[in-house]
Chain A
Amino acid sequence: MFENLTDKLQAVFKRLGKRGILREADVEEVLREIRLALLEADVHYKVVKDFVGRIRERAIGAEITKSLSPAQQVVKIVHAELIETLGQPGRLELKGPAPYVLMLVGLQGSGKTTMVAKLSRHLKKGGHLPLMVAGDTYRPAAIRQLEVLGRQLEMPVYSEGQHVPPPKICANSVREARQRGYDVVILDTAGRLQIDDEMMGELEAVKRAVNPVETLLVADAMTGQEAVNVAAGFNERVGLTGLILTKVDGDARGGAAISMRAVTGVPIKFLGTGEKTDALEVFHPDRLASRVLGMGDVLTLIERAESTFDQEQAEHLERKIREASFDLEDFLDQFQQIRQMGPLSQLLGMVPGLSQMMDDVSPEVTDQQFKRIEAIILSMTPEERRNPRVFNASRKRRVARGSGTTVQEVNALLKQFRQMQQVMKQMGKGKRGLRGVMRLFG
């Protein structure tokens, strides 16, 4: 399985010995690791080639600063270059006379219909009056799918059934929107292969009929090497104005985004991060870059943490860690807060390296363990939580009984907690502290 690029590079640099400046020969070995990492992340072969060429230029002779290891330094360069390639997040360009038409296009099963509903909801929140249009007359029950979503959102869906040609439906929907005062029209279209000439022709006809302000390619984050051909194919026929990446809540590294961006040059506008209609996020190039490099999505995790923990709590926690006075009471606190942040399985996926380790640690089991750990701590007296050293055999038996667990489990927890305290002591000593480390790649 993939290891973190930083770890790999660290190994390379170890072999190379400690030198102040990167030499050309060293750089080649380092570049090879970078190349493989990007390929493993599904960035297109040729895109990787170009990319590595740019890194070579930036890396040769680069000064290695003292604060970062050479490996970190190189990763930082790669990261920065990736961010540049990914470009700034795009916004929806709603300009000119209303109604503004957004047309969603893409392969079969990429998530267009769901995205229509998400955008509609998002725009309504922003004060718009969107009309969703059921333009997929091919896939069985696609119209109904959009209608159901519309009902759930209590938002209007325009449909003429499945026997009217899509260009006509779409043209009519715009007229309807104009008459009824909807200012945004969001068109769902049937999934199609970019090589299907007839179906692509239909898409051109739709575009001619409605003159959209946005033509957005909806693509699955899990897409492989074909992403370049797909994006290029759609771009050639219908002229894209933006990209939307879906199913980002999975564990795909998302290199397809880099390929598609490189081949079309159009900005990435949104990410789909779940099945519910509110699972829509704006795109952060830095986060996606980290993800492509297998560094996890620490920033999203921090953001979630920040919105869950308040500032004061965070400072309190940091102080505790620094002073190594973190006790089981705090542990329980943290625990409960983390659980508020979302399902554990999702959180673990954001931590660098952890998603790889999850092959061994089943988070399903972990979620259960979570509950047991909570039960154990809840069965302790406040004194025991503050000072776990008081635990003797009879106390442990009492806690085990109270929490419906076993003495072994209580022992295991106490042991884990001691280890955690050790780690925290180490972290507390570090100059940069927890946040500093996490910000490293921000």
Chain B
Amino acid sequence: MTIGFAQSLKDSLTRTRNTVFSRIANLLGASQVTEETWDELEGLLIQADVGVETTLHLIEQLRRRASEEAILQTDTLQTALREELRALLPDPPPLDLGNRPLDVILIVGVNGSGKTTSIAKLAYCYKQQGRQVLLAAADTFRAAAMDQLGIWAGRAGVNIITGSVGGDPGAIIFDALQSAQARGMDLVIADTAGRLHTQYNLMAELGKIRTVAAKNVPTAPHETLLVLDATTGQNALSQAKHFQQAVDVTGVILAKLDSTAKGGMVFAIARELGLPVRFVGTGERIEHLAPFDADVFIDGLLGPTNN
């Protein structure tokens, strides 16, 4: 991906670093580890939305290591923390894209998480990489959602298939896949209406969309990406769980990481569900997307390494 992406990620993470987590750096400067250190550490992880369970788990691991490895200084503890956090975000295999004539990416998520915007960013990014991208505007439900994606398609310079308002999203996916095959395009990215993961009929509808995709393109969708809003708290885990159950999510796009939120819930999502983060959204513009890099992400949380 282009330098612009990495730069925007760096910018947003610098902002992240400058807020809460920078305090870990101070806190973990090079002083003695005391009970207070543990308390503060807990507070900082919780405030980054890492969640109670994962925070307690991390602290337990660190306490054990602290006694086994005789960690007395806070800077050594910081290194250990970095390792533990990193261990929760194992590097996934590359995205399953580019291995066949036509790739299909399905984008899902709750209302307002950033799906449509993320699709625009993905389309722009893959188009820059020389791929023939077609968008399927299958959010037929929300007012003007298809217009929204249409405007983005224009900005990204890619084609789009839309349908009638209130129509069958499956039909739009079908049209898009047919059209992509006929026109020799190699990547379809499908938008879907936002839905709360507790709405079982709507979740079942997503299942149908998948079936339509698989019927028209073997093994499609090849990637099903869940868009999570970085400002979401512990509910993100519930979202990921339900979407994974319903449509076999393969990865996460963490949008709005340019906000003051830290996105700490992805640790629990990776730990409990094994879902990797694939991209992060770092702003509202079309180039504000970056591939997820666990080291950069953790660097952003903890501040630069001391060595």
Contact = CB atoms under 8 A, between A and B. Distances in A.
Given A152-B143, A250-B235, 20 more contacts: A45-B46, A108-B114, A108-B256, A109-B112, A140-B147, A142-B144, A144-B144, A220-B112, A220-B231, A222-B229, A222-B232, A222-B233, A225-B47, A250-B110, A255-B233, A343-B199, A345-B200, A346-B198, A346-B199, A362-B200
B114 A109 contact: yes
A250 B233 contact: no
Contact of B198 (A195, A220, A251): A251
A118 interface: no
A111 B112 contact: yes
Contacts of A362: 200, 245
A345 to B, nearest CB: 4
B233 A256 contact: yes
A70 interface: no
Interface string A351-382: 00000000100111001000000000000000
A286 to B, nearest CB: 21
B142 to A, nearest CB: 7
A147 B204 CA distance: 30
Contacts of A41: 234
B305 interface: no
B248 to A, nearest CB: 15
Contact of B260 (A36, A193, A253, A359): A193
Nearest to B49: A224
B147 A144 contact: yes
B49 A225 contact: yes
A423 B152 CA distance: 57
A32 B49 CA distance: 19
A145 interface: yes
A275 interface: yes
Interface in A171-207: 193-195
Interface in B77-113: 110-113
A194 B260 contact: yes
B10 interface: no
Contact of A42 (B147, B148, B233): B233
Contacts of B15: 195
Contacts of B261: 224-226
Interface residues of A, number: 54
Nearest to A110: B112
Contacts of B199: 249, 343, 345-346
B286 to A, nearest CB: 11
B234 A145 contact: no
A255 B51 CA distance: 13
Nearest to B259: A193
B265 interface: yes
17 contacts: A42-B235, A107-B259, A111-B112, A141-B148, A144-B143, A144-B147, A145-B145, A195-B15, A195-B259, A222-B233, A224-B236, A224-B265, A249-B198, A250-B197, A251-B196, A252-B235, A255-B233
Contact of A253 (B112, B114, B232, B235): B235
A359 B241 CA distance: 9
Interface string B115-144: 000000000000000000000000001111
A149 interface: yes
Interface in B2-48: 15, 43, 46-48
